A and B are shown apart, each in its own frame.
Chain A
């Protein structure tokens, strides 16, 4: 029996078919693990490794709100392409978030089960010329919502009072730097309550959060310039009692760098730029990001004594407030970009965004506390949760 030999053309066609199949199946392309959950605005495929974490992550991908679940029920909650900074209510029923537009942003909520979006406050407005003929506006930004521990109030960053502080800032320009406000969830259009003030000229405050178990303590990142030359950027973590300003009307006010008078007290010094604090679930430690000259690092420090918020603007208190940072900080990891840390509900892991294959992705790392040294350290290698890219500037939430 003669052996039948394939002709060259047949072989060529087979090769072409093989290549086509390979391309369709993605064989040989950059490996992605886990379940594909999203397609980014630039067409990238975002996958999540759902087997490596417990609970749920609420985060945004290309401006869309997703809940990534460790039990294989990930879903897209809001698909408007302009969403950022989700915050889950203490009862787990609502997700507050921001929807950004060209001139303003809205504070909105959606059920954690999905559904229609409800706008709590809209920053929409208009431009107008003031008496001097200068252009002003009634647009506002709302950023980074935060639920009060009892779920009755929503805090947010905003420039709501930008036209109110000319005298205090000594500037012939509105104070655009975002400050922290609060409104009742049940009546969000009520006049906001001032929670924390900003300094003029460096963008204002960021990253507010409550200390678990301590509704009288909040923490946030405070951006300002040095008070002497007004040229050196100082980024510090501030703590304060969120009721102090409202309890002492006409006492506190914002101002230029080194000016103003507010109840915030720095718990980190100015030797480095510190940002994005995240309380551990038991409220005993703070994870934070330190910006270095060529990289960023994830660190953990113990919480300073609770009494510091009772005596703000006191030299001795200010000195005591930074001691924990200066003496008990633990370096967990150092990379080109590390940001948005968040603790797992059980406090045994920290999730964060880092730069992987030219995209920002979610990773988690096990952390352990050594009582003997009072320091935190990592255990094992970090684990990648997403691949393909999430929104680096929008902080995630990790819930049960």
Chain B
């Protein structure tokens, strides 16, 4: 009730032009755009247990009308996504007002009580031959080099290149995606070029992925994307001391010309057989 009254107040006094929340239609909680013209709809506002990328809808709206003021229901993952979008100049911070709701536990924030994340059980064969989606990032270090390659390739080969991971990602906004560029990642016949497709996506997620898990939920083949991008951001954290979604500075890959003291790994001499 408190939430509904607050949203009504915001719409009435013009703090926001539209409010993105959820409404139940035929027992499906779906995202809905509440406006002051239909203010009686706000009585149906719910907080749904399923998550949709509301920030992505906000980005599309801002692209058409840059000065529109948008309010939205925001879990922690939504807040982190908004932080990243502000840094990359996709939305202006002064045009967004968020209403915080329960959030979920994730590696970037330990405590939370969202009902969404009950991990799906993975099959026994997948655990044996591929990578279990529910592993922690540290467990991945236990595998040796050859085993890692076998396991990850097993996962990547299932890819049907539906582009679901990229389409639903709230921080993916490039107009010309390099994954659709024929000369960079070959397009065409059924078998997508693996692992280059997933590697390119992983590199682009460095400094951007906020661990919302929508990519893994959207993958029809259950490829452990959340784990992969979580590990990528762990690498970014170790190398650059940058925590994606929480730090207020620009991510390390967007700054040109700063002095760095990193050393890449040396090219070792050949090992004699």
Partners in one complex: no
> Which residues in A have some Cβ–Cβ distance to B below 8 Å?
none
> Which residues in B have some Cβ–Cβ distance to A below 8 Å?
none
